[in-house]
Structure 1
């Protein structure tokens, strides 16, 4: 694996574009996505407007080309996932890009001689090329990026993909529209882009196999089923796969209807259809890029509910805006200049841009979550399962939208129905996986109630069992600590907190472990330790507050010995942490009783967390831990 120095690891997401571990890979995937769309759109224009093919009706051309491109994802994704886990990912990417050069050489002949059967074959082969590149692409990132870089890296990839789709469609249409020589220019461009992609792939650094001993299963049906079962073993990963596949279902409804929406509803020409694609692509690109800013460079799935709500709200408003447009009086269709001159159309474009922006917020954290939590040895196969689900959801999306239109629904009504369906589907996903809502609450508290500052959070391990210990200042300490963790953290908390009407429901949703004093309830006391040990057996993070209660005077109380009881049977690393500037806030006991005076310090008060280096279990005593936490408290607030 590539070694990352500290200055690289702590720079912003755009600094990745200056580093060899990311830039060649980014260029290879960007050029591949651009070439896919340049080729497909130019071919669609050729058979729709320029050639008369008796066995391929113009109105069916887009559907046939799209189906041929998606078919390899269904048939070969399982095999692609196995290869990406078994072999060096850089080698696979170079091989796939060389395959693209050969395909585009055949496509160049097809464009030169207007050979439609040959071009249809190349569509299938380019789908095969993308099928084998997909699992490698998303398995490569966590191998070369750290946890706090994954969101930014995925944001750049998503942004690049949609910009590439946009450029490919625009360039393909412009070149194919050139009289007489359009096909020749498309042929040269496709081959040139493929060669540039192959040259970029040659600079991708080595990415060693994650499971070199894997035995290949050549049966696509059984291997697909096995991949889905692998993903099922990780509930948060599998549900994220379903969430991403739903996003592609949702997006496919809008992308597939842009030409008809522009022509039949907005009464614009083909340039207006291109404008809608530009607006959509720019929106999702901005949303994807801003994920890193909003998440403070962590994998922040609290953004997912925000994105889901935005998708429904703006999709439904798009239905309302399109339904309220004045009837078309006939005559010339809108050009781009006349279209944007109408104020009613600005609402349509704003809805489309904000819908896409929300989809970027929704999808990027989910991709990062899958990469972070999937087992490295199975990561590519799980991503292959995601590609299979994506393809199936997109096929169902096309069939359902087609059935609704055939039943007499208008295009805006299809958009409105999709918005309502989105509420039901994502609501079900969040009900299955309340962690999304938990993280949203944490995000709100640390961005709106407080202004959180963090130092040393890289000391919290991204995998493996560990215990985090911290001073206990307020009722929201768990919320503050939870939001800085790269993965879920299970808290041991005083059982009386669960009786609080403000916070009890939230901590039950977090699956926190209630503990009662041994003298008060010995059964509950022992049960808490049983559950705590199980957290460590599962390889998860456990957090406890060794003081045994929230401070009443702002000073740290002596640490109790409960942690030693856990470490005796499960000797895992212990990570000290210290909370700064929470004493005196609404949630602290500064007045004897907490949560009595709202906004006692106003809003957006700065609070801080300082995390220290992990201690081996053998070096831990309550006194040593208290000294470490006190030393962190003595440091300046971040």
Structure 2
């Protein structure tokens, strides 16, 4: 079994890992820096805060729905490394435009007529950029890694993505606007330099014709993913998992403020715990499976995740404290009797989630021909994006109708049961194939 440390020393993996980590870091640094600046420095209204956050999220997710099918085809039919280099070069241009918009807004120059539209245009372009990069970062692994290394590589990519997301969020809160504008361009330039070291990954198929019609290509992509038994169960189980993650993501800040009576820094602590847990679970499952790609632990992992969600629900219900005047700060929150238990439970929820989802990602690239691996990942990105949007929307509707935040956690529990059922189906299909 190849360990994660071994892979990080290999040129056939390390440059790709660093490239995708910088990609996710820049996405989240720019998006959060932009939203925080608009919400906290340009406007002062809860309605505008909600609108800006919603528009930003929608603009970033929309390209995954529109272009995932095309991205998957293109990655399968062309040299993946060449595509990576073009994508990372485009990121320099996109981030330069976004940084210009941020700098203009910070100086009050043509804020609503030019600066804000430029920032949102850059955000949409980064969504397109990530849509075309997403299928490659997983589908390229079977071309560069041995069969016993794919699970370890997939786990590292997943863990790196979460570390980068978290780092981007933290940096966006720490850096000034001017520092952020420099950082996003600098990270883009470094990312392009690093991606030049990714080894070639030529097309594994003789197909050359890409269907540029997004509706027709998406229909074909869904038919492709649903027509393959193991791929179908993998995609659906992953999609339900991301719906759970979207629901929890929507709830972090309001849960911290309205249930735990804590400030936004406490919500950041919760996000740190969740992201760290996903990273830990993503790496740990490789050791547990000893490099074998199998769904045998996935049903148990997601059921453990559900049980921990129940524990987290009761811990929130038992939280019956009133801060002295203002909301709890981090130090005041951590001094409360249930605080460490809450954070530890959230960490373990994410560990179980990482252990559940990583083997399923490995299924996407190893249970189809290498010539179809990118389309397999693209199918998952397309369907998962829809599930995430629906999950976040349902959470918003429940809040609108006054369903308490703690009770909303039970929706995630129901989705855990569905995911466990799909994972059991996947393992049964896996066993049938082996026999």
For Structure 1 versus Structure 2, the TM-score category normalised by the shorter chain is: over 0.9
Unaligned runs of 5+ residues in structure 1 are 1-9, 176-181, 440-486, 491-638
Given that 1:79 and 1:223 are in contact with CA atoms closer than 8 Å, whether structure 2 keeps it comes out as yes
Structure 1 residue corresponding to 2:87, chosen from 58, 78, 96: 96
The Cα offsets for residues 105-155 of structure 1, whole Å up to 9 and x where unpaired, read as 001101111111111111101100100001111110111112211111111
Structure with max Cα Rg: 1
The alignment of Structure 1 onto Structure 2 pairs a total of residues equal to 426
Q: TM-score, normalised by structure 1?
A: 0.65
The Cα offsets for residues 595-616 of structure 1, whole Å up to 9 and x where unpaired, read as xxxxxxxxxxxxxxxxxxxxxx
Residues 53 and 330 of structure 1: is their aligned pair in 2 closer, same or farther, counting only changes over 3 Å? Answer: closer
Greater relative contact order (Cα < 8 A, sep 6+):
2
Question: Over aligned residue pairs, what C-alpha RMSD do you find?
Answer: 1.8
Where does residue 119 of structure 1 map in the other structure? Answer: 119
Given that 1:269 and 1:333 are in contact with CA atoms closer than 8 Å, whether structure 2 keeps it comes out as yes
Given that 2:237 and 2:423 are in contact with CA atoms closer than 8 Å, whether structure 1 keeps it comes out as no
The Cα offsets for residues 567-608 of structure 1, whole Å up to 9 and x where unpaired, read as xxxxxxxxxxxxxxxxxxxxxxxxxxxxxxxxxxxxxxxxxx
The Cα offsets for residues 334-380 of structure 1, whole Å up to 9 and x where unpaired, read as 11111111121122112211110011001000011121111222211
Structure 1 residue corresponding to 2:248, chosen from 242, 247, 254: 254
Structure 2 residue corresponding to 1:345, chosen from 339, 344, 347: 339
The Cα offsets for residues 198-221 of structure 1, whole Å up to 9 and x where unpaired, read as 111111100011224231111111
The Cα offsets for residues 48-78 of structure 1, whole Å up to 9 and x where unpaired, read as 1001289981222211111110000000111
Where does residue 196 of structure 1 map in the other structure? Answer: 190
Where does residue 435 of structure 1 map in the other structure? Answer: 428
CA-CA distance at 1:80 after TM superposition = 0.5
Given that 1:85 and 1:379 are in contact with CA atoms closer than 8 Å, whether structure 2 keeps it comes out as yes
Structure 2 residue corresponding to 1:59, chosen from 34, 46, 50: 50
Q: Distance in 2 between matches of 1:378 and 1:338?
A: 52
Where does residue 48 of structure 1 map in the other structure? Answer: 39
Greater helix share, structure number: 2
Residues 93 and 53 of structure 1: is their aligned pair in 2 closer, same or farther, counting only changes over 3 Å? Answer: farther
Residues 276 and 306 of structure 1: is their aligned pair in 2 closer, same or farther, counting only changes over 3 Å? Answer: same
Counting only pairs closer than 5 Å after superposition, residues 312-461 of structure 1 correspond to structure 2 as 312-329=306-323, 331-423=325-417, 425-430=418-423, 432-435=425-428
Q: Distance in 2 between matches of 1:255 and 1:221?
A: 29
Are 1:69 and 2:60 counterparts? yes
Q: Distance in 1 between matches of 2:101 and 2:52?
A: 16
Where does residue 161 of structure 2 map in the other structure? Answer: 161
Where does residue 18 of structure 1 map in the other structure? Answer: 9
Where does residue 567 of structure 1 map in the other structure? Answer: none
Counting only pairs closer than 5 Å after superposition, residues 227-242 of structure 1 correspond to structure 2 as 227-242=221-236
Partner secondary structure for residue 371 of structure 2: coil
The Cα offsets for residues 491-518 of structure 1, whole Å up to 9 and x where unpaired, read as xxxxxxxxxxxxxxxxxxxxxxxxxxxx
Given that 2:101 and 2:116 are in contact with CA atoms closer than 8 Å, whether structure 1 keeps it comes out as yes
Where does residue 626 of structure 1 map in the other structure? Answer: none
Counting only pairs closer than 5 Å after superposition, residues 20-39 of structure 1 correspond to structure 2 as 20-39=11-30
CA-CA distance at 1:267 after TM superposition = 1.2
Q: Distance in 1 between matches of 2:164 and 2:390?
A: 25
Structure 2 residue corresponding to 1:109, chosen from 89, 97, 100: 100
Counting only pairs closer than 5 Å after superposition, residues 449-488 of structure 1 correspond to structure 2 as 488=433
CA-CA distance at 1:434 after TM superposition = 4.8
Partner secondary structure for residue 295 of structure 2: coil
Q: Distance in 2 between matches of 1:63 and 1:221?
A: 24
Partner secondary structure for residue 91 of structure 1: helix
Q: Distance in 2 between matches of 1:377 and 1:349?
A: 43
Partner secondary structure for residue 320 of structure 2: coil
Where does residue 108 of structure 2 map in the other structure? Answer: none
Where does residue 130 of structure 1 map in the other structure? Answer: 130
The Cα offsets for residues 373-421 of structure 1, whole Å up to 9 and x where unpaired, read as 1122221112111111011001100111111111211111111232133
Q: Distance in 2 between matches of 1:384 and 1:297?
A: 24
Larger displacement relative to structure 2 (70-79 or 327-336)? 327-336
Counting only pairs closer than 5 Å after superposition, residues 567-582 of structure 1 correspond to structure 2 as none
Q: Distance in 2 between matches of 1:11 and 1:429?
A: 29
Given that 1:316 and 1:420 are in contact with CA atoms closer than 8 Å, whether structure 2 keeps it comes out as no
Q: Distance in 1 between matches of 2:76 and 2:323?
A: 59
Given that 1:159 and 1:284 are in contact with CA atoms closer than 8 Å, whether structure 2 keeps it comes out as yes
Q: TM-score, normalised by structure 2?
A: 0.94
Partner secondary structure for residue 57 of structure 1: helix
Q: Distance in 1 between matches of 2:304 and 2:101?
A: 43
Counting only pairs closer than 5 Å after superposition, residues 416-565 of structure 1 correspond to structure 2 as 416-423=410-417, 425-430=418-423, 432-435=425-428, 488-490=433-435
Residues 55 and 414 of structure 1: is their aligned pair in 2 closer, same or farther, counting only changes over 3 Å? Answer: closer
Partner secondary structure for residue 104 of structure 1: helix
Where does residue 297 of structure 1 map in the other structure? Answer: 291
Unaligned runs of 5+ residues in structure 2 are 106-114
Q: Distance in 1 between matches of 2:205 and 2:291?
A: 29
Residues 102 and 15 of structure 1: is their aligned pair in 2 closer, same or farther, counting only changes over 3 Å? Answer: same
Greater strand share, structure number: 1
Given that 1:228 and 1:382 are in contact with CA atoms closer than 8 Å, whether structure 2 keeps it comes out as no
CA-CA distance at 1:13 after TM superposition = 2.0
Q: Distance in 2 between matches of 1:255 and 1:224?
A: 27
Partner secondary structure for residue 205 of structure 1: coil
Partner secondary structure for residue 198 of structure 2: coil
Given that 1:306 and 1:361 are in contact with CA atoms closer than 8 Å, whether structure 2 keeps it comes out as no
Given that 1:371 and 1:379 are in contact with CA atoms closer than 8 Å, whether structure 2 keeps it comes out as yes
Given that 1:104 and 1:190 are in contact with CA atoms closer than 8 Å, whether structure 2 keeps it comes out as yes
Q: Distance in 2 between matches of 1:172 and 1:297?
A: 36
Q: Distance in 2 between matches of 1:212 and 1:143?
A: 16
